[in-house]
Structure 1
């Protein structure tokens, strides 16, 4: 066995070696030849090896994923699955997954990947193409299958899908005389002025998204641009952030910080920090994903907003409707794991409609099966699903590019510089456009 390491600390200890490997290793995958593709297909058709495997994912706050793993382990005593937990930060998750692949370690078996990493991991041969009949893709939302594919080949198993939602305090809006959730930033600002004037809203802030220099910032920036009527890349894959619409979107965010509508510490927020702030009664409005719903509705005393919040679509800017970034996750098999047959069978089990429905008891992750999104009993327990479907219908994908790591880094750096006042929005977008054009030309 190569480098069987079950400790994240040991894995992190290889960082220095990995950085050297990264410096010396080219991407190469984007020029994959037909012969290489056929070899990958042959590998996919020969999923062999049974025994223990490791499932690698971000933290399972709800415990729903662990329930599925426990069920599998009870039925497969010789093919136990161990959960290896990665950091909350998407960028740190990706970094560790890339490091593991670059040194061809067999520590990671089944990878939980953000949908935007599929092209990069597939092109670099860090994940295996799946057999055509491995999954019931005809029963899944088509967009989730597309997001799990590269060059018309399925590389991932759609796990869950995501669209952004706006969580808001119904009790405070009602007390302030605001009768409906805002449809745009102007209405949200006006509502906040009324709410924050209430004695019970003392020390609260208006709004927060996720603004740390991380993948979450790419998402929030992309949504702001889309909600102002623009787009980060056009249909041909050309960067388009040197537009009035992109400027309107970024300016909306920078002014929200400058005017105090967004708390200053939100510059460090990821999804969990925002969830806690809203759950603890510190925010009137929160942009986040569906998964926080379970925590917000918890009746164990951990949530201060039970029965006090509503959910709507993210706000637009000006006359434009709010636009969500398409989110979600796929599960994929590492080519370096020894027990590929077990890994594939576990993915089939874990992403099945039956297990997806079972996890809804604990998790608010949106399933990739339309039948569940439309199920009367499910919607009764998850009344925000119709709103989520609206969000998904208006959603825009992030750039589906092989060099996604460099692309998202460029977006984050310039958007963050604008939010922190290091650059004006105009300068940040001009610099972002130049960086993205350079990457597109490579």
Structure 2
């Protein structure tokens, strides 16, 4: 899973987020076409849809010739987000099922652009991981159907480290091993982009802090817990335990450094596991392990990634759309997407399937389930583009030493307050 690059889409989204009061048209549209059936369009970012996704859609179409699904893809999640917003504002029914990054659900739901799954239009979420269901809710209502998930994992050199670290103190205690071998100790995604928001959110959550309260609008960055969390990264960078070059790393730069034997520890997503064990250039094949992220007093907390599928409130074929999102959550479909496409499932039972757990290519499944079980979310707010930009800009300055951690958090607090007050 690659992190959503929300700041690139911030201009359009901030205009929309300035007024979260839902239009009456959204309320009226939610009552229409609930029994509508017919062909539908499923929109998704192109980097999230592989061959297995297309095969799953083809299988649906063979069984439902009068309710065929057409897949439409966009270059990346930013392009998808901006295109969806354009169609929503026009009350366009062309898109029916929307494959949305989990952090955009609050924004879309706040404007009542998504069909709520309630009453006669509800979904059975009991087979799904509870944490993934939480990403699909906004203010207590289910607005989306979890489809794929992901969580941050700690990759470590098991041939060099006697046991995986559970805390930041333990991790940094191992950095002497890296120094003796002239390796970098720890890296994540520390370039100034959405991935940094993810990493900082995880560090702050590890210390018990957050950036936005549960109402989605009140900032909570000016707390001792948030300062302790951000300081974990600031101090590690200042000491060299996070190497200087890691300030430029996104997901792929970190993966390549780890595969080249340049890092003792790497925070990254689950997709790294099979690649590090199969890439021809990887020197760490069979020499690394994977575990949960470190915390302050025990295991840390990851920020969930992934995609939720939602139904456009203006769709005219909502019954077909609902059946299709349920189909995409079925164990058989989820298994196929995991095995053939490496897509982490949202169905609980698959994490206990012995045939999957014994598959060497899926050796990360146990750690992934443990990470998801205690996961946090990136700030749940209709103002996410502004919030993530405030976090990444100021946290980047603090990590590089451009401003103290306390000042960076004060600036994040002020920026979030300013963004969420523009209603």
Question: TM-score, normalized by length of structure 2?
Answer: 0.83
2:3 counterpart residue number: none
CA distance in 2: counterparts of 1:305 and 1:335, whole angstroms: 48
**Residue 266 in 1 paired to residue 249 in 2?**
no
1:98 counterpart residue number: 85
CA distance in 1: counterparts of 2:259 and 2:205, whole angstroms: 27
CA distance in 2: counterparts of 1:41 and 1:106, whole angstroms: 12
2:113 counterpart residue number: 126
**Residue 352 in 1 paired to residue 330 in 2?**
yes
Q: CA deviation at 1:329?
A: 1.8
Q: CA deviation at 1:264?
A: 3.6
Other structure's SS at 1:387 match = helix
Kindly tell me: are residues 324 and 134 of structure 1, through their superposed partners in 2, closer, same or farther at Cα, counting changes over 3 Å?
A: same
CA distance in 1: counterparts of 2:274 and 2:124, whole angstroms: 28
Other structure's SS at 1:428 match = helix
CA distance in 2: counterparts of 1:95 and 1:421, whole angstroms: 34
Aligned equivalent of 1:142, options 114, 130, 141: 130
Kindly tell me: are residues 82 and 61 of structure 1, through their superposed partners in 2, closer, same or farther at Cα, counting changes over 3 Å?
A: closer
Other structure's SS at 1:400 match = coil
Aligned equivalent of 1:247, options 227, 230, 239: 227
Aligned equivalent of 1:372, options 328, 350, 360: 350
Q: CA deviation at 1:275?
A: 2.8
Q: 253-262 or 104-113: which moved more?
A: 104-113
**Residue 183 in 1 paired to residue 184 in 2?**
no
**Contact 1:291–1:363, Cα closer than 8 Å, also in 2:** no
Q: CA deviation at 1:269?
A: 3.0
**Residue 415 in 1 paired to residue 395 in 2?**
yes
- What count of residue pairs does the alignment treat as equivalent? 410
1:388 counterpart residue number: 368
Q: CA deviation at 1:335?
A: 4.5
- 1:18-417 equivalent positions in 2, closer than 5 A: 28-31=19-22, 36-37=26-27, 39-43=28-32, 45-50=34-39, 53-60=41-48, 63-72=51-60, 79=68, 81-87=70-76, 94-102=81-89, 108-130=95-117, 132-133=120-121, 135-171=123-159, 173=160, 178-198=161-181, 202=182, 204-234=183-213, 238-298=218-278, 301=280, 303-317=282-296, 319=297, 321-335=299-313, 343-381=321-359, 382-417=362-397
Gaps of 5+ in 1: 1-14
Gaps of 5+ in 2: 1-7
Other structure's SS at 2:345 match = coil
CA distance in 1: counterparts of 2:380 and 2:407, whole angstroms: 25
Kindly tell me: are residues 103 and 267 of structure 1, through their superposed partners in 2, closer, same or farther at Cα, counting changes over 3 Å?
A: farther
Q: Deviations over 1:139-162 (max 9, x none)?
A: 222332232123444321111233
Kindly tell me: are residues 291 and 77 of structure 1, through their superposed partners in 2, closer, same or farther at Cα, counting changes over 3 Å?
A: farther
**Contact 2:26–2:111, Cα closer than 8 Å, also in 1:** no
**Contact 1:111–1:333, Cα closer than 8 Å, also in 2:** yes
CA distance in 2: counterparts of 1:388 and 1:22, whole angstroms: 32
CA distance in 2: counterparts of 1:422 and 1:268, whole angstroms: 16
Q: CA deviation at 1:221?
A: 0.7
Other structure's SS at 1:262 match = coil
Q: Deviations over 1:233-263 (max 9, x none)?
A: 4456643222232222212212333333334
Question: TM-score, normalized by length of structure 1?
Answer: 0.80
CA distance in 1: counterparts of 2:262 and 2:74, whole angstroms: 29
Q: 154-163 or 305-314: which moved more?
A: 154-163
CA distance in 2: counterparts of 1:80 and 1:304, whole angstroms: 43
Q: 409-418 or 266-275: which moved more?
A: 266-275
Kindly tell me: are residues 197 and 74 of structure 1, through their superposed partners in 2, closer, same or farther at Cα, counting changes over 3 Å?
A: farther
Other structure's SS at 1:361 match = helix
Kindly tell me: are residues 98 and 210 of structure 1, through their superposed partners in 2, closer, same or farther at Cα, counting changes over 3 Å?
A: farther
Kindly tell me: are residues 301 and 103 of structure 1, through their superposed partners in 2, closer, same or farther at Cα, counting changes over 3 Å?
A: farther
Which has the bigger relative contact order, CA under 8 A and spacing at least 6? 2
Kindly tell me: are residues 148 and 234 of structure 1, through their superposed partners in 2, closer, same or farther at Cα, counting changes over 3 Å?
A: closer
Q: CA deviation at 1:337?
A: 6.1
CA distance in 2: counterparts of 1:353 and 1:104, whole angstroms: 34
Other structure's SS at 1:253 match = helix
Q: Deviations over 1:333-381 (max 9, x none)?
A: 3356676665444433323221001122134433221111122222222
**Contact 2:198–2:303, Cα closer than 8 Å, also in 1:** yes
